[in-house]
């Protein structure tokens, strides 16, 4: 792996990660799938530290999808146990590094002990300001949009929202954590090229980076390689290359229209 040369002024503000490949990593070693999840926890630790060190402001990790509830009971229990363990173990380090923990998803479906661990981490770290670490838990992108629509319809019925004046900005305010900016970089490990119902609304203009590295093998240098690759991209937000080079490329989204539809692909 060549030494990454990251431009500190162009570090993506928000990096979102689909951590894939734990099961295949384990199977390739003749281990049970849960061994892959346990190994994946070490990658979570390292990537959180690395993102913090690199100056990433928001890191969102897809830890458990709504669809993951359909996995075998033992696997779901192990994932919940690992999450609780991680949150308890890493709380001190989060406080030391100023990392604020947050969560998106249907948390009401989590077992009570997991929910308590998540809520405790959120509560304890809520004043931390160096990096925001979001766990997508019991999360589905379509469900997030449905949940937003449900709340919006209720407010429209109460007369708080006028359907004729509804625009993208107003709608987005009903999503789970609306103050979090959209991801700039979406990383998927494990040699797959799917979005898997992750942050469907928010990734409209994210740069996508995929790698064959299985999540348990993903280390600091892999995150750095993804950021170097991102920094070589030209983010056009639907405009022409000439237009954006005049305005600045990666990280400069000042030219994006408020409503989005106007700027195209
Ligand atoms: C996908 O691998 C990964 C998951 C479903 C869960 C991610 C969980 C961890 C990294 C462990 C602990 C996490 C936290 C946040 C403490 P897969 O099982 O779908 O892999 P496969 O595609 O090879 O089967």
pLDDT digits (tens, 9 = 90+) for 176-189: 999 999 999 999 99
Using only C-alpha atoms, the chain has a radius of gyration, in whole angstroms, of 19
CATH no. of 12-142+181-234 = 3.40.1180.10
DSSP helix/strand/coil, 185: strand
Tokens, residue 54: 């690199």
Taking each helix axis from N to C end, the angle separating 33-54 and 220-231, rounded to the nearest 10 degrees, works out to 60
pLDDT attached to residue 244: 83
Q: What is the mean pLDDT of residues 140-165?
A: 97
To 5 degrees, how large is the angle CA 239–CA 12–CA 184? 50
Q: How far is the CA of 75 from the centre of ligand 1 (A)?
A: 10
CB 105 near ligand 1, within 6 Å: no
Does residue 162 have an active-site annotation? Answer: no
CB 196 near ligand 1, within 6 Å: no
| Burial label, 56 (beta-carbon count in 10 A; 0-12, 13-18, 19+) | buried
Q: Which of 34, 68, 162, 184 is catalytic?
A: 68
Among 219, 196, 139, 142, smallest CA distance to 20 is for: 196
CB 235 near ligand 1, within 6 Å: no
pLDDT digits (tens, 9 = 90+) for 77-111: 999 999 999 999 999 999 999 999 999 999 999 99
Pick from 20, 67, 89, 214 the residue to mutate for probing ligand 1's pocket: most ligand atoms within 8 Å of its CB. 20
Q: What is the mean pLDDT of residues 22-51?
A: 98
Q: Return the half-sphere exposure (C-beta side, CA atoms, 13 A cut-off) of residue 185.
A: 29
User: Which of ligand 1's atoms lies nearest the C-alpha of 27?
Assistant: 23
**pTM, two decimal places:** 0.91
pLDDT attached to residue 247: 55
Residue spans of the domains in the chain: they are: 12-142+181-234
The C-alpha atoms of residue 43 and residue 182 are separated, in whole angstroms, by: 23
């Amino acid at each position: 792996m060549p030494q990454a040369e990251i431009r500190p002024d162009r570090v993506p503000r928000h990096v979102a990660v689909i951590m894939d490949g734990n099961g295949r990593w384990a199977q390739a070693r003749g281990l049970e799938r849960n061994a892959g999840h346990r190994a994946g926890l070490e990658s979570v630790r390292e990537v959180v530290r690395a993102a913090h060190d690199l100056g990433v402001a928001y890191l969102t990790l897809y830890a458990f999808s709504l669809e993951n509830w359909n996995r075998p009971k033992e696997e779901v229990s192990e994932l919940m146990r690992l999450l609780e363990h991680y949150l308890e173990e890493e709380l001190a380090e989060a406080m030391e590094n100023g990392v604020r923990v947050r969560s998106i998803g249907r948390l009401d479906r989590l077992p009570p002990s997991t929910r308590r661990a998540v809520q405790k981490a959120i509560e304890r770290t809520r004043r931390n300001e160096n990096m925001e670490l979001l766990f997508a838990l019991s999360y589905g992108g379509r469900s997030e949009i449905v949940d937003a629509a449900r709340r919006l319809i209720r407010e429209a019925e109460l007369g708080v929202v006028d359907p004729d004046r509804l625009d993208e900005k107003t709608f987005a305010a009903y999503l789970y954590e609306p103050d979090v900016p959209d991801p700039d970089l979406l990383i998927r490990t494990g040699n797959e090229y799917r979005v898997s119902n992750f942050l469907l609304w928010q990734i409209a203009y994210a740069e996508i980076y995929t790698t064959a590295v299985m999540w348990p093998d993903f280390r600091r240098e892999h995150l750095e390689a993804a950021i170097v690759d991102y920094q070589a991209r030209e983010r056009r937000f639907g405009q022409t290359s000439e237009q954006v080079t005049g305005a600045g490329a990666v990280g400069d989204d000042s030219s994006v229209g408020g409503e989005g539809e106007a700027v195209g692909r």
